[in-house]
Amino acid sequence: MTGIASTGAYLTGLILGASLIIAIGAQNAFVLRQGLLRAHVALVVALCILIDVALTTVGVGGLSASLGRNPLALEALAVAGACFLGWYGLGAARRACSSQSLAAAAAGGAQSARTVLLQTLAVSLLNPHVYLDTVMLIGSVGVQQPAPLRPAFLAGVWTASFGWFTSLGFGSRLLARVFARPIAWRLLDALVALVMWSIAATLLWTTFR
């Protein structure tokens, strides 16, 4: 019975984690772009996975209840996140207006590992949706699991995170031939800009309405 219960908890975490992470969002758009550029992909993928592991762990550990009682912290996070997403979206919009291919973007947009690391942290941690998904939602479901089953639940969530970010980061290179065309690259950057701006607007609307 214990094995069956653990398997059920694992599958619950796997399905919940996958349903939340597999969506067009700021973090996924960033990982996709770095994967296409083949620029510090391993660093980006590893960091995104570690962030998910850390946030879901503290969420299941009880932080979800604490954040729910501190609306001022969520408001400050929403403003900071909206500002960053707006700025990043502006950069993507500018790239969308230029005639560049994947090769040109890779050659002209080379960044240091430190810069990419900071961008990954920003696009991950300055987006309140990340906390709502990992800490609040996954945390609230996780704490409802019996204590002995929580590690299995978290393992399922982590499996979803590892599988998705690894596939997105390293699998995106299969699209390199498509994005060698300038129009495809410009359309991607236009989509990234729209995603960033829509998330920023939604953050501010839902926080201060």
Q: Of 158 and 13, which is predicted with more confidence?
A: 158
How far is 185 from 188, CA to CA, in rounded Å?
5
Percent of the chain at pLDDT exceeding 70? 81
Query: Does residue 208 surpass a pLDDT of 80?
Result: no
pLDDT, residue 33, reads 84
The set of residues, in sequence order, having a beta carbon less than 8 Å from that of 61 and lying 6+ positions away, is: 139
Residue with tokens 């946030």: 55
pLDDT, residue 202, reads 74
Per-residue pLDDT, averaged over 163-168, amounts to: 92
The domain ranges of the chain are 2-208
Which candidate, 67, 70, 25, places its Cα nearest to that of 48? 25
Sign of CA dihedral 90, 27, 123, 204: positive
pLDDT in tens, 24-44: 677 888 898 888 888 899 999
User: How high does pLDDT run on average in the chain?
Assistant: 79
Per-residue pLDDT, averaged over 51-71, amounts to: 75
Query: Does residue 54 surpass a pLDDT of 70?
Result: yes
Q: Of 18 and 78, which is predicted with more confidence?
A: 18
What token pair was written down for 20? 């939340």
Which of 3-7, 49-53, 179-183 has the weakest average pLDDT?
179-183
pLDDT in tens, 91-115: 878 877 876 545 545 554 567 889 9
pLDDT, residue 74, reads 61
How far is 60 from 57, CA to CA, in rounded Å?
5
pLDDT, residue 95, reads 74
Query: Does residue 89 surpass a pLDDT of 60?
Result: yes
pLDDT, residue 159, reads 95
What is the 3 state secondary structure string of 4-60?
Answer: HHHHHHHHHHHHHHHHHHCCCCHHHHHHHHHHHHCCCHHHHHHHHHHHHHHHHHHHH
Contact 196, 85 (CB under 8 A): yes
- Compute the C-alpha angle 20/207/195, nearest 5°: 50
pLDDT in tens, 166-206: 998 998 888 777 766 777 777 877 887 887 788 778 767 86
pLDDT, residue 1, reads 46
What token pair was written down for 174? 């299969």
